[in-house]
Structure 1
């Protein structure tokens, strides 16, 4: 592959993953509030609710309102998850539980960095390639990147909640490119979602690269199991 000027990377599933599972994190915090739940069931229902939710982007929102909008977006998913599994009414104070859960995901505790990530980011840096995070995440991504010792690798971080558009929309990719004064043809985007990352970036002329990690291969061009397999000619 010809050397790009900029490489953008997705966050969750590409740079770092959830330790154990989302359901396990929900179970741990729920247990602190006296509610017993099964992690596997919570995990299944959470992803059903997550996938059925609208994109986490708030076009036209005042920047000062965004943190609360992010909080409410995730709270709605958590409420629906516990209502479906029949445990919502077991909480004496669901709002207090969710605040603890939300804060927990702002720390390094529920996350782990994929082992191939730091050395590969360092290698790309040494090659003079600019790096950026491009993610449908919320503003907690900034402290998470810091906590996981990844923040210093990146010149830019572009998240859907701040720009009012979520992948696969071309708008979020355009905004990320503009931060680097870079054309689509000079950039790569690496992520784990076929639709949001691979197809979304390619639609704008960016080289889309899929990292499937624990997922089954999709059988497409530019698909790899890890970052270290992605070579520059």
Structure 2
């Protein structure tokens, strides 16, 4: 196989949140002398986020929304559902958290990610990101010093479609100027990453710690330090 392009998912593949959402939102509330349980905020966030994803998919892009507005609504409604009603405080906290999540404050690079990226570069591969993220992703990657590894970053907001839509992968293949059989993708979600990439004609790896019987064992990566040896086997 002549592999030319390797595309990456980001959240829980290369980056993870430093703390659960509920704890991060609680810290912001406490900085303003507001008392609310992190478990309450976590539950409210999951409810509001899930509802917004259903009602306004892909940050409401097709409905004329911006991801900025989408996230401000999610954060504000999360606090409101958790018992904080002051409109001015809700707006201030929502904007502050939106900006903070654009930085490295709440994000950390997963163990083995930097070494894996360097190893893939040494194999001579072009690399890119395919992520159901909003427009802040490039800033985040820059601030955690991962941006230099990628030839381009494709978010669902910029693409206008979201994984598992194969159109997302087709756009990446076009940007990378490669045929599907010359590209591979790695991510932690079976539908969005592993299956969707294969439906687009690409090779794919699923990053998961637990064993699975529904995919070939050589398609499964338990930790990122396994990736480069697997790629070497693939491109022999």
Q: Tell me which interval the TM-score lies in, with the shorter structure as reference length.
A: 0.7 to 0.9
Q: Distance in 1 between matches of 2:90 and 2:77?
A: 12
Deviations 1:37-59 (A, max 9, x none): 22233223323332331432524
- The answer to whether the aligner puts 1:104 opposite 2:100 as a matched pair is yes
CA contact (8 A) 1:56 1:73 kept: no
CA, structure 1 residues 195+88, in 2 after alignment: closer, same or farther (shift >3 Å)? Answer: farther
Deviations 1:79-135 (A, max 9, x none): 3322333x2315642111111000110110101101210011001101100110110
Greater than 4 Å deviation, 4+ residue runs: none
CA contact (8 A) 2:76 2:91 kept: no
| Number of residues of Structure 1 aligned to a counterpart in Structure 2 | 223
Q: CA deviation at 1:144?
A: 0.6
Q: Distance in 2 between matches of 1:70 and 1:81?
A: 16
Question: What's the counterpart of residue 228 of structure 1?
Answer: 225
Deviations 1:183-205 (A, max 9, x none): 11111111111121112111111
CA contact (8 A) 2:15 2:110 kept: yes
TM-score, normalised relative to structure 1: 0.88
Correspondence 1:1-233 to 2 at 5 A: 2=1, 4-52=3-51, 53-54=53-54, 55-56=57-58, 58-59=61-62, 69-85=66-82, 87-89=83-85, 92-213=88-209, 216-219=210-213, 220-221=215-216, 222-230=219-227, 231-232=230-231, 233=233
Of 90-99 and 171-180, the range deviating more from structure 2:
90-99
Q: CA deviation at 1:15?
A: 0.5
TM-score, normalised relative to structure 2: 0.87
The alignment's C-alpha RMSD in Å is 2.0
